[in-house]
Structure 1
Amino acid sequence: MDRRPFIGVSTYQVDASWSDWRARRVALVPERYTAYVRDSGGIAVLLPPDAPERAPEVLARLDALVIAGGPDIDPAYYGQPPHPLTEASCPERDHWESALIRAALAAGIPLLGICRGMQVLNVVCGGTLIQHLPDVVDPDVHAGTPGTYGRHLVRPVPGTLLGGLLPESELTVPTFHHQAVDRLGAGLRVSAHAPDGTVEAVEGPGFTLGVQWHPEQGEDLRVMQALVRAATAARTVPLEAVEPALG
């Protein structure tokens, strides 16, 4: 029997407390991400921030990559000063996830960006972000109250990768974000919108997909199941085919 594919999932790097330990630096990701991978047929492998130059080596041992949600990417990456409400607090994660995405794109490794992950993908491809979405659309649509997820409609674009995975004309998704794609990155196309026009999904060559919502917080496994299928099909790429591609 074929083994289940190994799906790398990027992590937070934060201070946390448990038992007798207080404010210890930890690498973590919400359990819903690992359950989302497991329930879709994959094996989740957590990827704490590491030296960016190691990204090709790491990806050569994985079958697909998920860039998880989290805090804002530093707007210096796309040449803008920070908005007063931008919270760019994870430089190690910014460097590491950007390197992982570049390596995945160069090697053709299946990639899924979720929320922040979609935004980092767009920035790596040369795009920019709306730093505070409530400045331009209804502030109550794209996020729930603090600590909870909201829900809103998204409309997949027919004829895209996402449109094939989610063929309905619109669906309701769990959401929590205050930033969004502004200028689209090179090589990407929009594959879903919210009714207010906000970009809700982008995609690139092969299986390169970013969704602005949080599918791991719902019951719909179709996006992750598709990543697992793509990972299963692509995992025959040998290590030597990955590393030269990155230089």
Structure 2
Amino acid sequence: MKIITLTTDFGTSEYTGAVKGVIQSINPEARIVDITHNIQPYNIMQAAYVLYSTLKYFPKGSIHVAVVDPGVGTERKALILETEDYYLVGPDNGIFSLFEYNHAWEIEFKEASPTFHGRDVFAPAAARLSLDMNPEELGREVKNIEKIDIFRIETEARKIKGEVLHIDVFGNIITNIKKEIFSRLGIKTGDRLRIKTLNKSFEVKFLSAYGYAEKGELILLVGSSGLIELSENLGRASEVLNISPGDILEIEAQ
């Protein structure tokens, strides 16, 4: 029984149900796993991060469908990528930027709604892959795909300017700053750092775990995906600071 995962910006809407219905109609035995349908609408970078932090935990042979597709209906390609461990199915808009792949195919189709390729293109392709159809039967091989530099930051002396990739269910603010950047700049656990957002400037400690902070204290730490997070212990930093994915964050070592 093949696993097909779904990552979309559809929310709890009828669009999610339609995608699942198409998959189950083609392969009733497919096991569908929802990674999330709560990607911020049209936020390709957030979707790329969620895929990067999640797909490695699924078994080999899984098929991963990602639909965050502001360019739906245009000339952007519809893709199947084959990696060492699984297939990726979705639009050619940078959503798969963080994955190495062996082969890529552009899905060929005759009829599809210009506003809903998730239902009419990606869901059928994933379902047919789960029935062991070869990707060559679904499209033509292509050499290059769109890439986004998800981890692009600016550094100056001991100052880092990055971007918010994701807000998790606890309100933690996950940035695109890798932990290695802190190591390179000599930032150590216990250091105090100045944070600047669009509307605020404040100091926080860099700690190793939430529990070392007082209740309600804002801190920086390395999250489970190896990226720097801004968090409030036993609270929701994103609401306290009014921060959303795509916002710019500046961190300066004191």
Tell me the TM-score normalised to structure 1 length: 0.31
Instruction: Decide which structure has greater strand share.
Output: 2
Instruction: Decide which structure has greater helix share.
Output: 1
